[in-house]
Amino acid sequence: MEPVEIRWVRDGPPAAEILVEGLPGIGHVGKLAAEHLIEELRAVKIAELTSIHLPPQVIIEPSGVARLARNEVFLHEGEKRIAFLVGDYQSVSPEGHYHLAEAYLDIAERLGVRCIYTLGGYGVGHLVSEPRVLSAVNREELRAGLEAAGALFNPDEPPGGIIGASGLVLALALRRGIDAACIMGETSGYLVDPRAASGVLAVLSTLIGIGVDMSRLETRATEMEQVIAKLAENETAEDDEALRYIG
Amino acid sequence: MEPVEIRWVRDGPPAAEILVEGLPGIGHVGKLAAEHLIEELRAVKIAELTSIHLPPQVIIEPSGVARLARNEVFLHEGEKRIAFLVGDYQSVSPEGHYHLAEAYLDIAERLGVRCIYTLGGYGVGHLVSEPRVLSAVNREELRAGLEAAGALFNPDEPPGGIIGASGLVLALALRRGIDAACIMGETSGYLVDPRAASGVLAVLSTLIGIGVDMSRLETRATEMEQVIAKLAENETAEDDEALRYIG
Amino acid sequence: MEPVEIRWVRDGPPAAEILVEGLPGIGHVGKLAAEHLIEELRAVKIAELTSIHLPPQVIIEPSGVARLARNEVFLHEGEKRIAFLVGDYQSVSPEGHYHLAEAYLDIAERLGVRCIYTLGGYGVGHLVSEPRVLSAVNREELRAGLEAAGALFNPDEPPGGIIGASGLVLALALRRGIDAACIMGETSGYLVDPRAASGVLAVLSTLIGIGVDMSRLETRATEMEQVIAKLAENETAEDDEALRYIG
Amino acid sequence: MEPVEIRWVRDGPPAAEILVEGLPGIGHVGKLAAEHLIEELRAVKIAELTSIHLPPQVIIEPSGVARLARNEVFLHEGEKRIAFLVGDYQSVSPEGHYHLAEAYLDIAERLGVRCIYTLGGYGVGHLVSEPRVLSAVNREELRAGLEAAGALFNPDEPPGGIIGASGLVLALALRRGIDAACIMGETSGYLVDPRAASGVLAVLSTLIGIGVDMSRLETRATEMEQVIAKLAENETAEDDEALRYIG
């Protein structure tokens, strides 16, 4: 097995103007957002990537069939041609992150992509009632467009920069002459966060100029908030009980 | 030393229809099952594998002779020709797992193997009185055969997929046109579990169509259960004592 | 992406007699000292290095532009031509440290450097009121010069030797016929330490024979000491409060 | 820098019948024993090895000169020609252990070595008043010689086999047609243990047929035992004090 293997599963040379990356990460924000778009736009799978840099693990499909941990590329051919990069995992090693980021850019170049959006979460360590959407770009000229679409740029946010695929793809795209922006949804970082994903998608759909039905993502966000509310309630109840016991 | 080295210890080109993999893992279920078969079928060693991906460690034989940590291939030439892959360890690194899995498949291809069974444990985190046997396959067509032999397929079990050789060999075999199924014995994951191994072997012997004397494995399972019972008793006794002391 | 990539950002063949290395490390002593010199001497950037051995991470500039984690080379062309090696991070893997150290020496050789000073902190685990400056050299003949400039040599200090770039560059420079000395400022190791950096710079400026305005570094050191004093005060105050509470 | 580099520091082709390996490990038993022999036999340095698999670290000599972490080869040319392999560290990575072991055997082959003794400690987790000396060999025929010299062979001791250079060199020597035995001194594993080293040397000197003055090692062992006795006394004293306080 080669260190990184890309298999194209569709005949003919597919093409896309835009690549949206949403691999697993903080709050699974990027993954939730990208997978929601793939479903709503009914994008079709065109490639998959396996690698020794992904965990040495297989996923069992509902059919009982096991397959390697992988990343996948989907294509939506509407008014705009948009490719999506999603997957089970990111690299398990620091060096592997660089190798996979280059492989993602090989895919982008082969598709003729002119612009990449990497989606992710920005973990702040506490629950956020109205999550902001932050951004970073690989050329300063791209900043105004992101701001117009509702993304913020704030010095020192995220304080440590961006770790993993969303960051490396952003920076390495410049070397290949591809514009790229990272769109990050503010999130606690403790829970899968559909609300943050929804914020990221609002910015992204404005940028790309597509309408996306957000209702399913909104439903998931509301459900998640009810779960959190119930957890908080239980904690208070326990506190009450504790008080009664003491009293 | 090459990253992976395979030494064939028997003259002439050996051949096998089936490869059974039972390397160390959760509850040593796969290892116990495969080693029991090797002993009962009096399979003979035909190859051994050493690798820089195995721990940097030697094993001391009862004779006082030290040898490298290794994996071994045994061959049973009965009505069916069955090869077995067993060993001291699996890879110490994520990337190494992929390299070793490919080496195992090189061995399978050289033997002309058509079907691989990877054996393992499925750790559930609590003692299991009647362990189930679960399975995963690399082609959906294989599922019915496994089910007929007594294995279950349950969505989201094991929840995280299969880690290590049993999973990777399963998935990577498909690329070489080799059928493969993983047979997993439910086990606590805390103890070496001959009972789970016995369940795995019941399914495997039905699939291959061989009769295997299970008595020795049953004896070990009974012994292990007596050990556990005694441990549980002692805990209760300690509780009693604690009560007497307090009372 | 190559394992280590060096990009020269200035036309023509730059040259320098001296290379000063100040990468992040204990107390950020080396980094503070080297960056202070770059600013005071208005050195200009001539090269940058990126590598799969650096963390898989991007830094977001105040402009909102993300760039790869990197190391940078600056050049001061005054009476003496002095190059500086600074950067965001050191290697994340043991092997990577060796590869990066060789790359730093490739840069030094290309610049025609005759002498390297690696700057760092020597962590002693407790606050130090009057930090000493210790040194190590790659040829015994260099020792007298360092001592004359105010650096100490003390057997078994630092007890474990020098870890990372400052140490490896020092030792590996010898093989390329380049003189090298490491100048280490004594520091607690718990805090960014401008006072220790100031001590290192005093020795270095004597060695190189340049006058450097230290006032900005002194201001930072004083600020940091006020912060520490306030922290200590608060602790005492808390103790007092605790006493009142108990009393 | 090559992954492993060997530099011969003596002119002409040195030769040795025997190689004694004593790299750092459990209780530094092997290192103490080998270094004692080097000093007593006044062996001279003939080669040194540096490697990216050793820690990325330099050692500062008493002279103030820093040098790479390294392994060294010494040669004693008496009635027998005996080479010694000692050093600062072993490999930091599992794969590196294999690569370094092969390099050690390259050195042995170049010297024409017929027999290797690897020295080490066998950690048992408690203080040992009369430490045994255990052994393992790479050919069963060597066992009688070891036993005659006072080494024991005990099934399942050490229970996990031998980790690192002492084990790998032992096993890999067989492939090169070189006899090898590992001589292990029983030790707590918590402290540097000259007593265990002394036991190992007693066996080794009988095997090689050389007389070695053990007095300096005995002195160190006695000193270490006095330190331990004092530690134990203090603990008892503290217990007494505690009793007085309570009483």
Ramachandran angles phi, psi of C28, nearest 5°:
50, 30
Please spell the DSSP secondary structure of C98-161, one letter per residue: HHHHHHHHHHHHHHT-SEEEEEEEEE-SS--SS--EEEEESSGGGHHHHHHTT-B--TTSSTT-
Nearest to A52 among B95, B155, B170 (CB): B95
pLDDT category, C239, cuts 50, 70, 90? low
* Whether residue D246 has pLDDT greater than 50: no
3-state per-residue secondary structure call for chain D: CCCEEEEECCCCCCCCCEEEECCCCHHHHHHHHHHHHHHHCCCEEEEEEEECCCCCEEEECCCCEEEECCEEEEEEECCCEEEEEEECCCCCCHHHHHHHHHHHHHHHHHHCCCEEEEEEEEECCCCCCCCCEEEEECCHHHHHHHHHCCCECCCCCCCCCEECHHHHHHHHHHHHCCEEEEEEEEECCCCCCHHHHHHHHHHHHHHHCCCCCCHHHHHHHHHHHHHHHHHHHHHHHHHHHHHHHHC
Q: What is the number of CB-based contacts under 8 A between chain A and chain C? A: 75
D191-234: per-residue pLDDT in tens? 999 999 999 999 999 999 999 999 999 998 898 888 888 887 87
* Whether residue D11 has pLDDT greater than 80: no
Mean pLDDT of C69-74: 98
Element (H, E) at C51: strand C44-51
Rounded to the nearest 10°, the torsion over CA A213, A215, A221, A222 is 160
User: Which residues, 6+ apart, have CB-to-CB distance to B176 below 8 Å?
Assistant: B105, B108, B109
**For residue A180, what are its two tokens?**
């790229």
d(C-alpha C229, C-alpha D67), whole Å = 39
Q: Does the distance separating the beta carbons of A65 and B99 come in below 8 Å? A: no
3-state per-residue secondary structure call for chain B: CCCEEEEECCCCCCCCCEEEECCCCHHHHHHHHHHHHHHHCCCEEEEEEEECCCCCEEEECCCCEEEECCEEEEEEECCCEEEEEEECCCCCCHHHHHHHHHHHHHHHHHHCCCEEEEEEEEECCCCCCCCCEEEEECCHHHHHHHHHCCCECCCCCCCCCEECHHHHHHHHHHHHCCEEEEEEEEECCCCCCHHHHHHHHHHHHHHHCCCCCCHHHHHHHHHHHHHHHHHHHHHHHHHHHHHHHHC
- B65 and D142 Cβ atoms separated by less than 8 Å: no
Q: Does the distance separating the beta carbons of B136 and A56 come in below 8 Å? A: no
C180-219: per-residue pLDDT in tens? 999 999 999 989 999 999 999 999 999 999 999 999 999 9
D142-175: per-residue pLDDT in tens? 999 999 999 999 998 999 899 999 999 999 999 9
- Chain A residues contacting B, CB < 8 Å? 1, 52-53, 55-60, 62-69, 92-93, 96
* Whether residue D239 has pLDDT greater than 60: no
Q: Is C228 exposed, middle or buried (0-12, 13-18, 19+ CB in 10 A)?
A: middle
Nearest to A98 among C56, C62, C63 (CB): C56
CA A213 to chain centre: 18
Q: Does the distance separating the beta carbons of B136 and A65 come in below 8 Å? A: yes
Q: Which of B46, B16, B214 is nearest to B117 (CA)?
A: B16
* Whether residue C99 has pLDDT greater than 90: yes
Element (H, E) at C208: helix C194-208
Separation in Å, CA of C170 to nearest CA in chain D: 7
Chain B residue with minimum CA distance to A7: B175
Chain C residue with minimum CA distance to A147: C64
CA D21 to chain centre: 6
pLDDT category, C74, cuts 50, 70, 90? very high
- Chain D residues contacting B, CB < 8 Å? 91, 94-95, 97-99, 101-102, 135-140, 143, 153, 155, 157-158, 160-164, 167-168, 170-172, 182
Q: What is the pLDDT of residue B237?
A: 61
Chain B residue with minimum CA distance to A3: B95
- D181 and D170 Cβ atoms separated by less than 8 Å: yes
- pTM score, whole prediction: 0.92
B25-59: per-residue pLDDT in tens? 999 999 999 999 999 999 999 999 999 999 999 99
Mean pLDDT of C121-127: 94
> For residue B225, which amino acid is it?
E
- Residue indicated by tokens 């004693």: D76
Q: What is the pLDDT of residue A240?
A: 54
* Whether residue D244 has pLDDT greater than 80: no
d(C-alpha D48, C-alpha D33), whole Å = 19
The segments of chain A whose pLDDT lies below 70 read: 236-247
pLDDT category, C240, cuts 50, 70, 90? low
Q: Looking at chain C, which subunits does it touch, using at least 3 CB pairs closer than 8 Å as the criterion?
A: A, D
Chains B and C touch (3+ CB pairs under 8 A): no
